[in-house]
Amino acid sequence: MRKDKPPLPPRDRALGLLSRREHSARELKRKLQQKGVAVDEAAEVVGEMGERNYQSDARFAESLVRKRALDGYGPIRVRAELATHGIVREAATIAITSADVDWMQIAKRVFSAKYRDTEAADHKERQKRAAWLATRGFDGATVRAVTRAEVDD
Please work out, in degrees rounded to the nearest 5, the angle formed at the alpha carbon of residue 91 by the alpha carbons of 86 and 94. 145
pLDDT recorded at residue 149: 58
Alpha carbon 151 to chain centroid distance?
A: 24
Tell me the per-residue pLDDT of 130-151, one tens digit each, with 9 for 90 and over.
999 999 999 999 999 998 755 5
- 7-22, pLDDT tens digit by residue? 889 999 999 999 999 9
Q: Where are the strands (E) in the chain, listed by range? A: none
Band (152; pLDDT cuts 50, 70, 90): very low
Distance CA 1, CA 23 (A): 35
Domains of the chain listed by start with CATH number: 8-55 (1.10.10.10), 56-101 (1.10.10.10), 103-147 (1.10.10.10)
User: Across all residues in the chain, what is the average pLDDT?
Assistant: 92
For 67-119, what is each residue's pLDDT tens digit? 999 999 999 999 999 999 999 999 999 999 999 999 999 999 999 999 987 88
Q: What is the spatial distance between Cα 10 and Cα 98, in angstroms, rounded to a whole number? A: 33
Closest Cα partner for 107 from 81, 132, 79, 82?
132
Q: Return all residues near 121 (Cβ < 8 A) that are at least 6 apart.
A: none
Helix (H, G, I), strand (E, B), or coil: what is residue 29?
helix
